[in-house]
A and B are shown apart, each in its own frame.
Chain A
Amino acid sequence: MEIVYSLAIGILTGSGVWLLLRPRTFQVLLGLTLLSYATNLFIFGMGRLTLYKAPIIDAATGATSSALYADPVPQALVLTAIVIGFATTALLLVVLLALRGLSGTDHVDGREPKA
């Protein structure tokens, strides 16, 4: 599972970085989105990958051994990171449209490169 997981993060990061370095604003936006997916998966993975374990202590069984539970902190961190990333990406989208409207091109520098 770890291999698949880390491969997924790697592929997302690689494509994200490639898109981030492209000259069109929409590609940059998608690149940032992919990178933030990769980062979120990475944060989640840092809480160790486990199966069938809840992050909240089960009052019914009363079991308190930490081996029985998943680490709740990275899950909380991921949640925050997703929300913040989503909000800032939305803002970036607005700026992207404004630049497109003002300059008439979707190049990140606001003008087409000379051929």
Chain B
Amino acid sequence: MNALLRHLVVLPVVVPLIAGALLFFVPEARRTIRVSLAGLSILIQLAAAVALLYLTSDAAPYIWPEGVGVYAIGGWPAPYGIVLVVDRLTAVMITLGAIVSLATLVYSIAQWDRPGQPFHSLFQFLTMGLNGAFLTGDLFNLFVFFEILLASSYGLLLRGQGGARVKLGLHYIVINLAASLLFLIGVALIYGVAGTLNMADLAGRAAALAPDDRALLDSGAAILGIAFLVKAGSWPLNFWLPGTYSVALPPVAASFAMMTKVGFYAVLRMSTLMQEYETLGAALFYTGLLTLATGTIGMLAAKQLGRLVAFTVLMSMGILLSSMGLRNEALTAPALFYLVVSVLTTCTFFMLSGMAERSRAGEKQSEVEDHGEDNQPTYSAYGIKKPTVYEFSDDAGVAIPAVMAFLGMMFVCCVLLVIGLPPLPGFLAKFALLATLLQPDASDVTSPSSWLLAGAILVSGLASVVALSRIGMRVFWSLASRETPRLRLLEAAPVASMVLLCLGLTLVAGPVTRYLGSAADSLHAPATYIRTVLSQETRREKAGEPRP
């Protein structure tokens, strides 16, 4: 049994890979099969993620007593083979990813996955890239999983019609390609100096390097860090983000909620493993603050709900980066809690914005989506018969009762989550952050930068109240030429369940915080991680097994 449970680690990568590949062969017409295959894959991932969450916790010490599980792919031990490593942080991220995927998949079934481009396969590959990036213990595989994730995100982003989407898609692809090249340069530099790409092995070797080599390694790590920060959407590398996220279809934008967090995860993982936590601090703190400022100002300026939600992504990333930059280890656990809450919030809010903006579809159609069918000379220019495009219809489906009341209620819940008011967990997250920030250290002083960050968090909260109530009035109260939108149950249900999930998170905040606390502790004591990853080899030799 235990031997089988060890294979759980690889499921979140392998299951979506197989499902995504199979989905290519199921014809579009067999919709039931497609949808159930995609749903089954996500459910298996969710189950595996929850199991990993349990197995890495203290409650189940029999497989991975120290909370770090290593899976050597093909039986080749680290540092020569490629390993997947699961620890508490990884388990949390994968679970979060699976929840977001499940919600967005259900939402997209309502109408967004209709013929056009292969939605379901790309969606599976996106989750595969996400899970792989969280699981991998090897820098080059991190690159590969990033590319898988990005390649499918390019496809998903371009779904639907319209020049604006193609234009911003082009910008997105170019920026990410450039960032990937930086990533490769960083990886190559690190390999050239340290001779390894395994993160655990690297951490051990970095300490033993000569000062000259160490400088080269640090510059490699810095280049790598820039690549991560591009993905994370840190200032000044984030100007692509609001536009891109706001032109994507709502379920696509919602499934992107995890993507910026991958960048943050990579920075967190590398900096704690390589003990660069100290040197990195100041830079991260100020870029974080500037990201927060960009997000806040952008929110105040945004005129559409989708764009505003995109800026809340920047806001949360700013808070995360700058709290990490304070080099206060006690802040990691509250920051992780904030990360969980902000991912759930972003995902819910993007799905909601898709429904809420629909009621104003008439007035904004020309503004955002130049759907224009005849606006596509490419087909005629290349002599291709124009493919039949499914029209995303606004009035199909059964109207669920009291639509406006439902939408308004959900909007209020999302607002409470973003600005951090009880009873939703946004409050707990911000409160935990502020309480830790303002806690005086050993010499009974709260550092000025802590005050600065606390002030910035509060100001950004106030600004979001202003921005959100203004946009709320515009969307829900401006009665000019509006019709009550009709919703499908499949779209409303995931939004409502995400809000309920958040409410549940408030109720079980105690255990969740404890788990995240232990995740943060193991992050700051990387010795266990390093030892567990590298001991695979010695264990094998002791047991007298032949080398594969």
Please list the residues of chain A having a beta carbon within 8 angstroms of any beta carbon in chain B. Answer: 20, 25, 28, 32, 35-36, 39, 42-43, 45-47, 73-74, 77, 80-81, 84-85, 87-89, 91-92, 95-104, 108-110
Q: Taking CB as reference atom, which chain A residue is nearest B193?
A: A46
Binds A, one of B178-186, B398-406, B492-500: B178-186
| Residues from 120 to 175 in B contacting A, C-beta threshold 8 Å | 140, 144, 147, 150-151, 154-155, 158, 162-163, 166-167, 169-171, 173-174
Closest 6 CB pairs of A and B: A101-B378, A46-B192, A43-B188, A102-B163, A110-B167, A46-B188
Complex contact B188–A77 (CB within 8 A): yes
Q: Taking CB as reference atom, which chain B residue is nearest A73?
A: B191
Q: List the A side residues contacting B154 at CB < 8 Å.
A: 88, 91, 95
Complex contact A99–B178 (CB within 8 A): no
Complex contact B144–A98 (CB within 8 A): no
Complex contact B188–A36 (CB within 8 A): no
Complex contact A88–B184 (CB within 8 A): no
The one of A35, A74, A108 in contact with B178, judged by C-beta atoms closer than 8 angstroms, is A35
Complex contact A35–B181 (CB within 8 A): yes
The verdict on B187 contacting chain A, using a C-beta distance below 8 Å, is yes
Complex contact A91–B163 (CB within 8 A): no
Complex contact A80–B169 (CB within 8 A): no
Complex contact B170–A25 (CB within 8 A): yes
Assuming the contacts A88-B147, A92-B173, asked whether A97 and B378 have C-beta atoms less than 8 A apart, the reply is yes
Please list the residues of chain B having a beta carbon within 8 angstroms of any beta carbon in chain A. Answer: 140, 144, 147, 150-151, 154-155, 158, 162-163, 166-167, 169-171, 173-174, 177-178, 180-181, 184-185, 187-189, 191-192, 197, 375-379, 381
Q: List the B side residues contacting A100 at CB < 8 Å.
A: 378
Given the complex of chains A and B, what is the CA–CA distance between A75 and B150 in angstroms? 24
Complex contact B163–A99 (CB within 8 A): yes
Q: List the B side residues contacting A80 at CB < 8 Å.
A: 140, 144
Q: List the A side residues contacting B158 at CB < 8 Å.
A: 95, 98
Chain A interface, >50% SS class: helix
Q: List the A side residues contacting B378 at CB < 8 Å.
A: 97-98, 100-102
Q: List the B side residues contacting A42 at CB < 8 Å.
A: 184-185, 188
Interface hub of B181, B375, B377 (most chain A Cβ within 10 A): B181
Chain B interface, >50% SS class: helix
Q: How far is the CB of A104 from chain B (nearest CB, A)?
A: 7
Interface hub of B144, B178, B375, B381 (most chain A Cβ within 10 A): B178
Complex contact A32–B178 (CB within 8 A): yes
Complex contact B151–A103 (CB within 8 A): no
Complex contact A32–B177 (CB within 8 A): yes
Assuming the contacts A42-B185, A46-B192, A101-B376, asked whether A92 and B170 have C-beta atoms less than 8 A apart, the reply is yes
Assuming the contacts A80-B140, A103-B167, asked whether A92 and B174 have C-beta atoms less than 8 A apart, the reply is yes
Q: How far is the CB of B382 from chain A (nearest CB, A)?
A: 8
Complex contact B381–A36 (CB within 8 A): no
Q: How far is the CB of A65 from chain B (nearest CB, A)?
A: 16
Complex contact B166–A88 (CB within 8 A): no
Complex contact B185–A108 (CB within 8 A): no
Assuming the contacts A80-B140, A88-B147, asked whether A101 and B381 have C-beta atoms less than 8 A apart, the reply is yes
Given the complex of chains A and B, what is the CA–CA distance between A35 and B175 in angstroms? 13
Given the complex of chains A and B, what is the CA–CA distance between A95 and B378 in angstroms? 11
Given the complex of chains A and B, what is the CA–CA distance between A100 and B181 in angstroms? 25
Assuming the contacts A101-B381, A102-B375, A109-B167, asked whether A84 and B147 have C-beta atoms less than 8 A apart, the reply is yes
Complex contact A95–B173 (CB within 8 A): yes
Given the complex of chains A and B, what is the CA–CA distance between A39 and B223 in angstroms? 13
Given the complex of chains A and B, what is the CA–CA distance between A39 and B379 in angstroms? 36
Complex contact A104–B377 (CB within 8 A): yes
Given the complex of chains A and B, what is the CA–CA distance between A91 and B154 in angstroms? 9
Q: Can you list 7 A-B pairs, Cβ within 8 angstroms, ordered by A?
A: A39-B188, A43-B191, A46-B191, A77-B140, A91-B154, A97-B378, A101-B379
Q: List the B side residues contacting A104 at CB < 8 Å.
A: 377
Q: List the B side residues contacting A103 at CB < 8 Å.
A: 163, 167
Complex contact B163–A36 (CB within 8 A): no
Given contacts A28-B174, A102-B166, A104-B377, 14 further A-B contacts (CB under 8 A): A32-B181, A80-B144, A88-B147, A88-B150, A88-B151, A88-B173, A88-B177, A88-B180, A98-B166, A99-B170, A102-B162, A102-B163, A103-B163, A108-B171
Given the complex of chains A and B, what is the CA–CA distance between A88 and B184 in angstroms? 14
Complex contact A74–B151 (CB within 8 A): no
Complex contact A32–B174 (CB within 8 A): yes
Interface hub of B154, B180, B184 (most chain A Cβ within 10 A): B184
Q: List the A side residues contacting B173 at CB < 8 Å.
A: 88, 91-92, 95
Given the complex of chains A and B, what is the CA–CA distance between A97 and B181 in angstroms? 23
Complex contact B181–A84 (CB within 8 A): no
Q: How far is the CB of B292 from chain A (nearest CB, A)?
A: 28
Given the complex of chains A and B, what is the CA–CA distance between A80 and B188 in angstroms? 13
Q: List the B side residues contacting A110 at CB < 8 Å.
A: 163, 166-167
Complex contact A46–B189 (CB within 8 A): yes
Q: Taking CB as reference atom, which chain B residue is nearest A35?
A: B181
Assuming the contacts A77-B188, A84-B144, A110-B167, asked whether A39 and B181 have C-beta atoms less than 8 A apart, the reply is yes
Given the complex of chains A and B, what is the CA–CA distance between A87 and B177 in angstroms? 11
Q: How far is the CB of B35 from chain A (nearest CB, A)?
A: 26
Q: List the A side residues contacting B151 at CB < 8 Å.
A: 87-88, 91
Given the complex of chains A and B, what is the CA–CA distance between A47 and B195 in angstroms? 9
Q: How far is the CB of A4 from chain B (nearest CB, A)?
A: 18
Given the complex of chains A and B, what is the CA–CA distance between A24 and B177 in angstroms? 17
